[in-house]
Amino acid sequence: IHKWYHSGLNRWHGLGSTADFQKIIQERCDNYPQQIWSYSRSRNCQEIKQAFMSAFISKDPCKATKEDYRRLIDLADPTVPCNKIVLWSKTKELAREYAKPRGLVTLEDTLLGSLADDLHWCGEPGSPDLNTWSCPDWKKDCRTNYLTVFWEVLSKRFAESACGTVQVVLDGSLENAFNEMSIFGRVEAPNLKPMVTLQAWLVHDPGKPPRDSCSGSSITKLKSILSERNVRFICRDNLRKFLKKRKPTLNGKYGVSP
Ligand code: APR
């Protein structure tokens, strides 16, 4: 039995921290495109990297709080002009594909969103290192893990800052295109400002029968959450019609059928 086994570093059920986490953060920050600096208030990469690391290093990976990330978020608050935000749930790649050619912005286009996109991170009490063996899983270990709390805090700021028309891409091939437990459902939708208009696009896998639609019960639920907040709501089935024809993606999921 190896030393790492005894140390308990592999006790969590989620993926461990991404190898070279610090280096990736630094590189992504240095290469963040200048023309979209405006999606973040400043860009001091040294300071941002330090604030990111000190948010979770040597802390209990199940005791993340909003306050842990306050300094980081304050350093690079996402700020996006009105009418440009695209949210998503289970549809990140498609939402990005929709947003990019239209000059629209997903959270992953803002500085902090781009730094953390697809990375994993957690620390270990009393250790200066990241735990690369395992990190807490949302379901099996704890909800207050550093990854979940990061996306919650950042997504909340993003949604609160939105103005004009906000769009969201939802997966109509799921039973519930709107899921109240998702970040979009529990954090973003309930934090849109009154007078904002939310435009939902439902997308359907070409190979599968549509399971949810603008008139389905999950969208009705979304509508009622929004109307309580005085957020206007528009819903359209079949985003695919609005996307350019393109080759199927590797897994074929969002490709256009021949
Ligand atoms: N990279 C890796 N993980 C992410 C990212 C990202 N860019 N964004 C969110 N996550 C995490 C969150 O913990 C989230 O719960 O992965 C999960 C993605 O789950 P989905 O069910 O696909 O979507 P949802 O929970 O609705 O979160 C997506 O939140 O991050 C915002 O603006 C973003 O509108 C989007 C929504």
pLDDT digits (tens, 9 = 90+) for 180-237: 999 999 999 999 999 999 999 999 888 888 899 999 999 999 999 999 999 999 999 9
Q: The tokens of 74 are what?
A: 């304050």
Q: Which region, left, alpha or beta, applies to residue 84 given φ > 0 means left and ψ of -120 to 50 means alpha?
A: alpha
ipTM: 0.93
pTM of the shown model: 0.91
Task: Give start and end residues of each alpha helix (H) in the chain.
Answer: 3-7, 21-30, 45-56, 70-75, 92-99, 111-116, 146-161, 183, 217-228
**Separation of alpha carbons 104 and 128, rounded Å:** 39
**Distance from residue 145's CA to the centre of ligand 1 (Å):** 14
* Residue to mutate (ligand 1; options 18, 39, 69, 92; most atoms within 8 A of CB): 92
DSSP string, 54-80: HHHTTS-TT---GGGGHHHHHHT-B--
pLDDT per position as a tens digit, 108-163: 999 999 999 999 999 999 999 999 999 999 999 999 999 999 999 999 999 999 99
Question: Residue 108: which of 40, 174, 53 has the closest Cα?
Answer: 40
Q: Is 188 in the pocket of ligand 1 (CB under 6 A)?
A: yes
pLDDT value at 250 more than 60: no
